[in-house]
Amino acid sequence: MQALTKKEPKPYANPYLAGVLLGVVLFTAFFLTGDGLGSSGGLNRVLVFLEDIFAADHINRTPYLITMAGGARNPLDNSFVWLGFGTLIGGFASGLIHGRVRLETNKGPRITNPTRWMMALAGGILMGYGSRFARGCTSGQGLSGASVLSVGSWAFLPAVFIGAYAFAYFLRRLWR
């Protein structure tokens, strides 16, 4: 295994402790900026930024994309992009401190790495599509919306769990 550090990975934090800290981060975000946390919005804008380099005309003809990058608008000119960048650095910092930055593939014991990668790609496609359909991902729509008591977010959260539980049995080979 190619680990960045020689250290043994440390055990993960207690889930309730991590939850309390995450709640404090979420509150801080709302308190300071008025907005919660999010990931898919930032990713969307990074994607549109790339599209804008290669196909600016196309963006200027697509209403959904114009709002992010139409004309001279820069899709990276948005705080969710920078929040996502911070997430990357924060994840790396914790990984480094806890000895968990290592090139590896996590999967169930019964499948090969390439199978896992293809499944990750397929799941990512669904997740990406679904998160835009729901106007936010688990953090932007779920965590953030639920904590300010949005009805839509409280309907959305069970749907995510139901979707996953409905297929978990059939896909157990992937994970167990």
Partner 1 sequence: MELFPAFPGPFPIEAMYGKIGLYLVAAIIGFGFGYVLEMAGFGNSKKLAAQFYLYDMTVLKVMFTAILVAMVLIFTAAGLGLVDYNRLFVNPTYLWPGVVGGLIMGVGFIIGGFCPGTSTVGVATLKVDAMFFVAGLFVGIFAFGETIDGILSDFWNSSYMGRFTLPELFGLPTGVVVLIIVAAAVLMFWGVEQVEAMMGGEKPNPAHFRYKLMGSGALIAAAAVVMLIGQPTSADKWERIAAEKQPMLDDRQVQIHPAELLDYIDNDQVDVVMLDVRDESDYNLFHIQDAQRVTQDELTALVKVLLEKPANTLFVVMSNDEENATEAWKVLVAESLNNIYILEGGINNWLAVYDIEPDEVSPIAVAMLPTLKPDPPQGDDFLRYDFPAALGEQHPAAAPDPHEFEIEYVPKVELQVKQVTGGG
Please pick, from the candidates 4, 56, 60, 110, the single residue that binds partner 1 as defined by CB under 8 A.
4
Is 55 a residue that touches partner 1 (CB under 8 A)?
no
The answer to whether 39 and 137 have CB atoms below 8 angstroms apart is yes
Q: Tell me which amino acid residue 6 is.
A: K
Q: Which of residues 139-168 bind partner 1 (CB under 8 A)?
A: 139-168
Is 73 a residue that touches partner 1 (CB under 8 A)?
no
Is 36 a residue that touches partner 1 (CB under 8 A)?
yes
Min separation Cβ 175 and partner 1, Å? 5
CA atoms of 46 and 56, how far apart (whole Å): 14
Please pick, from the candidates 15, 54, 57, 72, the single residue that binds partner 1 as defined by CB under 8 A.
15
Q: Which two tokens stand for residue 141?
A: 């729509």
DSSP summary character for residue 77: -
> From residue 119 to residue 138, what is the string marking binding to partner 1 with x (rule CB under 8 A)?
xxxxxxxxxxxxxxxxxxxx
CA distances from 176 to 119, 168, 169, 173 (A): 15, 11, 10, 6
Please pick, from the candidates 8, 22, 56, 112, the single residue that binds partner 1 as defined by CB under 8 A.
22
Is 108 a residue that touches partner 1 (CB under 8 A)?
yes
Q: Distance from CA of residue 160 to its chain's centroid?
A: 14
Please pick, from the candidates 5, 7, 30, 70, the single residue that binds partner 1 as defined by CB under 8 A.
30
**Residues in contact with 70: Cβ distance below 8 Å, sequence separation at least 6, in sequence order:** 59, 60
Please pick, from the candidates 8, 56, 60, 82, the single residue that binds partner 1 as defined by CB under 8 A.
82
